[in-house]
Structure 1
Amino acid sequence: MLFIVIPVFNRWAFTEACLRSLQEQTQPDFRVIVVDDGSTDGTGEQLRRQFPEVEVVEGTGQLFWTAGVNAGIRRALQQGADRVLTLNNDVVAAPDFVERMLHWAQRMPTALLGPLELDVHTRQPVYGGEVFSWLTHTRRDLLATLGPEERHGLHPVTYLPGRGLLIPAAVFAAIGLFDEKRLPHYLADFDFTSVARRHGFPVYINYDAHLLTYPEESGQEQTRRHRSLQGYYQHLFGIRGGGNLRNFTHFALKNCPTPLVPLFLLNGYARRLTGYFLHG
C-alpha cells in the first residue's frame, strides 16, 4: 500500500488544492497522511470537514519539514506501508501522477523516484533533476542537456527533492528516516536520497510523472525577494535559511567523498556568503 505524507503549517489554500488534485487521481489506491504542525489558520478544522478520509497527525509547531515528514512516515510504516511518497502542500499533482509513479516503481522496486516539475502557471518544466560534481561543485541540469525526444522515462540523478519523492519501505529499513537532528529543514531530502544511493538504492527522475509547483513560493525565493541584513542572517543561520552554513557543513561531511571535503566546504561557504546578494 502506498501512503502519501504531506507536512503542513498554515497556507490552507495550497493544502486544499493539493488534496483536491489527489482526489482526482486515475490511480486512487493510496492513503494520505497530513502532518499538521500547529497550524493557526483553521487547517485542522478544514481537514476534518472537507477531507475526512485523510489521516491527520498533530505536530507541536516546532517540527519543521524534516521532523514533520518523519512523523508521517512513522505512522505510515506502522500501518504497513510498502511505499511512501513525500509531498509538499504547495504542489498540484497531475491526474495521472500517482499512476505514472507506480508504473515505474513496480518495474524498479528498489528505486527512489521523483517527478518532472512544471510551473503551475505556465506548464513549462522548471525542475528535471541534476547530476552533481563534488569536485567542481557544479550541477548538470538534465532539462538543459536532454532533447525533447529524451524527456521521458527514468534518468539517473545524484539526489532528489522531497516534494514528490517516492520511497520504497526497504530504504527506511536500511538507512533510517530523514536526518531531523542535523538537517531540520533544508537539505534533508538531498541528504536522504544521497545516502540511499550510496547504499545501493537507485535514484531516478521520472519524466513521465508530472507535478505542478509554485517556484515563487519556495522559502529561498521569498527570502531573496526582499533582501536585508536580517534576511542575510536568516539565510546563513536560520532553520529555514537556504544557505544555512551549519546544515551545509553536515551535508558535506556526510556525503562528499572524503578527499574532496576541504575544497568542497570552502567552495560552498563562498557561494553561500556571496550568493544571497548576487543571485536574482
Structure 2
Amino acid sequence: MELQLVITTFNRSAYLKNLLASVAKLDPAPTGVVVVDNASSDDTTTVIQVAAKQFPIPLVHHRLEENVGGAGGFSAGIAKALDLGAEWIWLMDDDVVAHPDALEAFSVWMDRYRCIHGRRYDEQGKPFFWQHRFCSYLGIHLPVRGNVFASSEVFHTNVGCFEGMLVHSDVVRAIGLPDPRFFINGDDTTYGWLISRKFPVAYINHYVLSKARPQKQIDLVIRHLNDSNDLGRYCAMRNRGHIGQYLRHENAYNGWGFALGTVLTAVKEIFRLIAVEHTLRGIPTLWRGWREARRILGDTSWQPMKPLNHPADYSQDCP
C-alpha cells in the first residue's frame, strides 16, 4: 500500500523539526513524506535537508515559489503525492506531532472508509474538541454535543480537517484537489462536506496526533473557541463567498439561511475577539472580508475545483 504523508509548513521550522522526528518513529511507516514549503524565509530548508539525510523513508522537499496558504499548500501537496503514486494520503499541519501507532489505528478502518480522521490532543495533553456537522442551510459547521463515541468506535460526520485527514486517492480524483482560493479557514470543512456527498467521512475513537503549538482558548461546554489573527478573521468572512458558491453548485444553497449563517459567523468572530483575545481591533478586518465575500458571491464566472482527469503541474523540488 502506497501511503504518502503530506505536511504543509510556513516559517515554523522548530515545530516542523519535532513533527518530522515523530514521523520517523511511525510503526508501521508511511511510504514517504512530502513537505510542502510555502516559501518559508526561516531555516526550514536546512531543517528538511538535515532530516532527509537520516530519514528512514523518502522525504521530498516540495518548495513553492510563494505562500499560498494552507489550502494552496495541501492542494499542491496532494497533487505531488498522487504524482508519486500514493494510494492513501495523510494530511497534517506543521505544528502537531504524530503518535507512533497512528497508522496502525487507521488500518483497522481503511477497508471500510475512504476518508478518515483520528482524534487529537491539545498541547496540554487534553482531548482537542473536533466533533461537528456541516449545516448546508446555514453554510456553517455546528458542534455535536455529548460523547459521539458512546455507542460506537466511529462517528460519521460531513466535515473535514486537514490537521490529520487520511484520504484515499480515489476520493481526490472524484472530488478534485482542495480549493487554493480559500488560502486558510474553511477550506478543509468545505472539502470534507464535498467528500461526504459521495463518500462516508469517518471520525475514529483513537488518538493519532497531538497539538504542539499553544493556543489561547476558552471552553464553551459544547465546543472550544481558539484565538485567531487578522488574516484568519479576514478569510473566515471572505471565504463565505466561496462556501456559498459551492453550495450553489451542489444545489444546496438557501439565500436566507446562508445570510443567517454569515451573521452567525461574524458574531462568533466578534465574540472570539472579546472573550479570547480581549480586543475589538479586528472588527474592520471582518468588514473587509464580508465585502469581498459579497463580490465572490456575485461573480458569475466562478467555477468549482474539477475532478482530476489529468496530471497537475508542479513547482520545483529541492534536492
C-alpha deviation, 1:214, in angstroms: 3.7
User: In structure 2, what is the Cα distance between the partners aligned to 1:75 and 1:132?
Assistant: 29
User: In structure 1, what is the Cα distance between the partners aligned to 2:128 and 2:190?
Assistant: 21
User: In structure 2, what is the Cα distance between the partners aligned to 1:207 and 1:69?
Assistant: 25
1:120 aligned to which of 101, 120, 123 = 123
C-alpha deviation, 1:99, in angstroms: 1.5
User: In structure 1, what is the Cα distance between the partners aligned to 2:123 and 2:268?
Assistant: 29
2:80 aligned to which of 62, 75, 99 = 75
For residue 156 of structure 2, what is the aligned residue in structure 1?
156
C-alpha deviation, 1:264, in angstroms: 2.5
Change beyond 3 A, Cα 1:44–1:138: closer
Contact 1:119/1:212, CA 8 A, preserved across alignment: yes
2:239 aligned to which of 247, 256, 270 = 247
Contact 1:129/1:160, CA 8 A, preserved across alignment: no
For residue 170 of structure 2, what is the aligned residue in structure 1?
170
Moved more, 129-138 or 33-42: 129-138
Residue 185 of structure 1 aligns to a residue in which SS? coil
C-alpha deviation, 1:128, in angstroms: 3.7
Letter in 1 for 2:241: T
Name the TM-score, length of structure 2 as normaliser. Answer: 0.73
The alignment yields a C-alpha RMSD, in angstroms, of: 2.6
Change beyond 3 A, Cα 1:261–1:43: same
Change beyond 3 A, Cα 1:119–1:242: farther
- Equivalence map 1:186-197=2 (5 Å): 186-197=185-196
Residue 100 of structure 2 aligns to a residue in which SS? coil
Provide Cα deviations, 1:71-122, integer angstroms capped at 9, x if missing partner: 11111111111111111111111110122123211232xx31111111233x
Contact 2:184/2:235, CA 8 A, preserved across alignment: no
Share of identical aligned residues, percent?
21
Provide Cα deviations, 1:23-82, integer angstroms capped at 9, x if missing partner: 111211421000112222211112112223311001123221111111111111111111
User: In structure 2, what is the Cα distance between the partners aligned to 1:157 and 1:12?
Assistant: 33
Change beyond 3 A, Cα 1:146–1:191: closer
User: In structure 2, what is the Cα distance between the partners aligned to 1:206 and 1:253?
Assistant: 30
Contact 2:95/2:213, CA 8 A, preserved across alignment: no
In terms of fraction of residues, the more helix-rich structure is 1
Residue 85 of structure 2 aligns to a residue in which SS? coil
Change beyond 3 A, Cα 1:278–1:134: farther
User: In structure 2, what is the Cα distance between the partners aligned to 1:222 and 1:179?
Assistant: 24
- Equivalence map 1:31-180=2 (5 Å): 31-52=32-53, 53-108=58-113, 111-121=114-124, 123-135=125-137, 139-141=142-144, 144-146=146-148, 150=151, 153-180=153-180
C-alpha deviation, 1:134, in angstroms: 4.5
Gaps of 5+ in 2: 218-224, 277-319
For residue 203 of structure 2, what is the aligned residue in structure 1?
205
Letter in 1 for 2:87: D
The number of residue pairs the alignment matches comes to: 258
Change beyond 3 A, Cα 1:222–1:132: closer
Verify: 1:267 aligned to 2:267, yes or no.
no
Contact 2:136/2:247, CA 8 A, preserved across alignment: no
